[in-house]
Amino acid sequence: MARNDSTPVNEQLQDLLLESPGFAEFLLELTMISASLLGSGTPLLCAITVERAGAPATVASSTEAARRLDEQQYAFDDGPCLTALRQQHTVLIPDLAADARWNHYAQAVSQEGIRSVLAVPIATRDSAQAALNCYSLQLDTFGPETVSAVEEHAASISRILQLALRLHSADPYPEHLRAALESRAVVDAAVALIMLQNNCSRDVALEILLVAARNSNERLHVIAQDLLKRAAKPLAVTQSAEPPTRETGGAS
């Protein structure tokens, strides 16, 4: 867990802020530092999410898998990290598969093998909100001591993050890049759901989505978004490649 001697870490964070050419680069390095400090016998996948003025989130992650896990939540506009960020309280999920609140998110990320999640808000000011998200491949990774350590670390990086937000406030997140990331996250989430429901490969799932888009003459991310909206209802997404045309009744 986090080290006790905070002086070297504080100096490292100050140097990082001074040397980073932009906010995205700073956030990426901050996430890597967090992952190295918090990792112990059970390696953690870490990500830091920042929202400014209600705009779509900027994400930095210690691994590619951690990035995908966070972006899946934006497709649903819900999940443990977004809840921690927007409601400013710690969210602990000892067993993701058994947690009914985010069962659709759990299904979407099941291919990553994530078993437990901890999301902790990072205090900021003005119009920004932030959270530190930790993912584990094992059940019950986050005991009381681990939760406390992650919360302490989130508090320790709060000040440097606030300084970074002020320093880089004039460098907005590019609109075209924001839209591209949102669209990719929606498609990835829909593909993951199709893989789960049809027990098929990613390539096959993507082809199913492409066929549905061609048959309906809609853009790919529009079809993907429709599937995700239906997944958020009591019944699962239809497994047909054709876009669904009616609601079905009955128990899920």
Are 148 and 26 members of one domain?
yes
- Rounded average pLDDT over 91-118: 85
Whether residue 57 contacts residue 74, with contact meaning beta carbons closer than 8 Å, is answered with yes
What does the pLDDT read at residue 227? 86
Which pLDDT belongs to residue 179?
Answer: 58
**pLDDT over 70, % of the chain:** 78
Strands (E), the chain: 45-52, 58-61, 91-93, 116-122, 128-136
Backbone angles phi, psi at 46, to 5 degrees: -120, 150
The predicted model gives 195-205 an average pLDDT of 83
Which of 125, 144, 167 terminates a domain? The answer is 167
pLDDT tens-digit readout, 36-85:
788 666 678 899 988 887 766 767 887 778 888 887 887 777 888 889 99
Can you give the three-state secondary structure of 46-78, one letter per residue? EEEEEEECCCCCEEEECCHHHHHHHHHHHHHCC
Same domain for 153 and 38? yes
Q: Are residues 62 and 187 in the same domain?
A: no
141, 167, 193: which is the final residue of a domain? 167
Judged against a pLDDT cut of 70, whether residue 95 lies above it is answered with: yes
**In the structure, what pLDDT confidence band is assigned to residue 218 with cuts at 50, 70 and 90?**
confident
| Residues ≥6 apart with Cβ < 8 Å to 194 | 200, 205, 208, 209, 227, 237, 239
- In this structure, the answer to whether residues 58 and 107 fall within a common structural domain is yes
Domain that holds residue 198: 175-231
- CA 66, CA 190: separation in Å to the nearest integer? 18
* Predicted pLDDT at 181: 56
Asked if 55 and 155 sit in the same domain, the reply is yes
pLDDT above 80 (res 188): no
198 φ/ψ sector (left φ>0, alpha ψ -120 to 50, else beta): alpha
The number of domains in the chain is 2
What is the percent of the chain with per-residue pLDDT over 90, rounded to a whole number? 19
pLDDT confidence band for 140 (50 / 70 / 90) = confident
Is residue 61 located within the same domain as residue 131?
yes
**31 inside domain:** yes
pLDDT at 235: 41
36 plus 146 within the same structural domain:
yes
- pLDDT value for 202: 77
Residue 97, token pair as written in the block: 């598969």
3-state secondary structure of 203: helix
- Answering whether pTM is above 0.85, one says no
